Structure 1
Amino acid sequence: MSYRCVYVRSADKLSLKDNNLYIKNDQREVTVPLEDIAIILVEDQKSVLTTKLIASLSSYYIGLITCDEKYNPVSITLPLHMHYKQLHVFQKQLSVKKPLYSQLWSYIIKQKIQNQRKVIEMTSRDEFTIVKLMEFEKEVKSADKSNREGVAARIFFNGLYGKYFVRRQNSSDEINSALNYGYTVLAANMSRMLAMYGFNTILGIHHVSMTNNFNLSYDLMEPFRPLVDYYIYNHLDELSYPLPKELRIGLISLLQEPIRINDKIYRTEHAMEEVVLSFIKVLDEEDSRHISLPQVVERAEEDDESEL
């Protein structure tokens, strides 16, 4: 399993050399085996990438993220048609009955709210927020018809970042910009995992946006979002816009953070694969109870039996 997240801040050229990523600029040259790489994030807008390299990235299921002039991730490149049962998987996705996805979505949202509560317990310890999140988790219904996710998110963000904070998808304020950056990195890795197993990321469980090619990726990454929220809380004094290099690297490194699934500790990158594998079982057996979802852990729990 690949594990490295390659951050390219400045490079004249990225190319392929003996199945290695070859990075060259005025000061030095670097090679990284493709088989070790999970994600490549390129910030330099002047960098040249060869088509041979891009084609090879697909063969190794490597996600390529490119950024704008403010260092915001703006595109994700993933392999197409690389799974041996691509049509079979696609037909499975198309044939899913609505009640299955409705129940599955309720499990996802319950776990997301539980992870948000865990983050509050580890950070602000705001008692009102903790109590409300516990209530909202219990109130989640099939398909989250009462929108406990949205209500919980508002309470959660106010309890974490202050009562005047408003979460915005497209915003250049310091906190929202940092959150968007981190969420994009998580979504890129989830998309990579889904592509590895032949899924069409446009067909979501709950998200059905006609303009989002990664509806399924954002559905399955929902319980992972609190990892980003927690990181940003611990670096609030360092935030600025554009986001500082050290924090950009830190957010990319969240893919190596520990998280719990089924009483085992995994790196986040590998935990996402466990989620995708369990999603396959959900579809195969038409039973949403097979889904495996991540639980945020405290640092002290990293010493437990693990897959790290």
Structure 2
Amino acid sequence: MSYRCIYIRSADKIRLKDNNLLVLNDEREVTVPLEDISMILIEDPKALLTVRLVASLSSYYIGLILCDEKRNPISITLPLHMHYKQLHVFEMQLKVKKPLNSQLWSYIVKQKIQNQRKVLEFTTFDEFAIRNLINLEHEVKSADKTNREGIAAKIFFDGIYGKYFVRKQNADDEINSALNYGYTIFAANMSRVLAMYGFNTILGIHHCSMTNNFNLSYDLLEPFRAVIDQYVYQHLDELAYPLPKDIRIGLIGLLQSPIRINDKIYRIENAMEEMVLSYIQVLEKEDSRCLALPFLIKNESNDEVEL
């Protein structure tokens, strides 16, 4: 089972050598077996990649993330031929009935709010926010028709980052930049796992944007966001814009941190795979109760590789 997240900050050339990733620069050469890798992030805009390597990464279901000149993730590669039952999985996605999706989304939102509450209990212990999140979790209805998710998000971010913090995408402040970076890394890994099991990521459970190719990825990502929220709070004093290298590495390494799912402790990237496998059961049995959801735990661990 792949387990290594490879972060490449600087490289002259990146190519394939005997089923190994080979990174070349003026100072050294580094090789890593492809079978050990789950994801590669490349920051260097001058690095040269061979087509043979990119094709091999797809064969191993390795997510390749490319960054822009500001070192922000901007692109991910996914294989075209993803799974031996790809048509079967796609047909199941097309046949999903609205009541099933509505129930699934309510489960996901409840777990997201519960994990947000856990973050507050592990960090600021804002009693007002915690109490309100408990109430909101119990108020979630089918399809979250009353938008408890949005209300909970406002209370949560006030409780952890302060009442003057405003959550924004594509913002250039330190906190939002760190959150956006972490969410993008997690969404990329979720997309990789979904592709590995033959899912079309455009067809979401709740998200249905015509311009988002990863609606399903962001649906299943929601309960995992709290891991990033907690990390960013714990490193507030180290944040800057642009994000420091150590923070970027730490956010990537969160994929190796522990979380509980199905009453067992998994690395987050493996927990995502468990969640996707359970989603297949949901579609096959048309039973939302089959969905395995992640529960935040206090411990965290980073295990990344820098080249």
**Is TM (by shorter chain) over 0.5?**
yes
Q: Which residue does the alignment assign to 1:181?
A: 181
1:64 paired with 2:64, answer yes
1:123 paired with 2:123, answer yes
Q: CA deviation at 1:69?
A: 1.4
SS in 2 for 1:40: strand
Q: Which residue does the alignment assign to 1:202?
A: 202
Q: Which residue does the alignment assign to 2:247?
A: 247
Corresponding pairs, count: 301
Cα distance in 2 for partners of 1:14, 1:171 equals 31
Cα distance in 2 for partners of 1:74, 1:299 equals 30
1:140 paired with 2:140, answer yes
Q: C-alpha deviations, 1:163-215, integer Å up to 9, x for none?
A: 00010012111100000000011001111110110000010000001111111
Q: CA deviation at 1:25?
A: 0.5
Partner AA of 1:19 in structure 2: N
Q: Give the 5 Å matches for 1:244-283.
A: 244-283=244-283
Cα distance in 2 for partners of 1:110, 1:39 equals 29
Q: Which residue does the alignment assign to 1:97?
A: 97
Cα distance in 2 for partners of 1:78, 1:178 equals 24
Partner AA of 1:96 in structure 2: V
Cα distance in 2 for partners of 1:95, 1:152 equals 31
| Structure 2 unmatched ranges of 5 or more | 302-307
Q: CA deviation at 1:273?
A: 0.4
Q: Which residue does the alignment assign to 1:4?
A: 4
Q: C-alpha deviations, 1:27-57, integer Å up to 9, x for none?
A: 0000100000000000000001111000000
Cα distance in 2 for partners of 1:158, 1:82 equals 41
Partner AA of 1:45 in structure 2: P
SS in 1 for 2:7: strand
Q: Which residue does the alignment assign to 2:88?
A: 88
Following TM superposition, the consecutive aligned residue runs of length 4 or more in structure 1 with deviations greater than 3 angstroms are: none
Cα distance in 2 for partners of 1:293, 1:27 equals 44
Q: Which residue does the alignment assign to 2:305?
A: none
Cα distance in 2 for partners of 1:145, 1:249 equals 38
Q: CA deviation at 1:299?
A: 2.2
Q: CA deviation at 1:82?
A: 2.4
Partner AA of 1:148 in structure 2: R
TM score, norm. by length of structure 2: 0.97
Cα distance in 1 for partners of 2:191, 2:140 equals 26
Partner AA of 1:291 in structure 2: L
Q: Which residue does the alignment assign to 1:29?
A: 29
Cα distance in 2 for partners of 1:224, 1:251 equals 13
Q: Give the 5 Å matches for 1:150-165.
A: 150-165=150-165
Partner AA of 1:75 in structure 2: S
Q: CA deviation at 1:4?
A: 0.2
Cα distance in 2 for partners of 1:245, 1:3 equals 21
SS in 2 for 1:168: coil
Q: Which residue does the alignment assign to 2:224?
A: 224
Cα distance in 2 for partners of 1:55, 1:28 equals 24
Cα distance in 2 for partners of 1:13, 1:211 equals 33
Over the matched positions of the two proteins, sequence identity in percent amounts to 74
1:40 paired with 2:40, answer yes
Cα distance in 2 for partners of 1:159, 1:69 equals 33
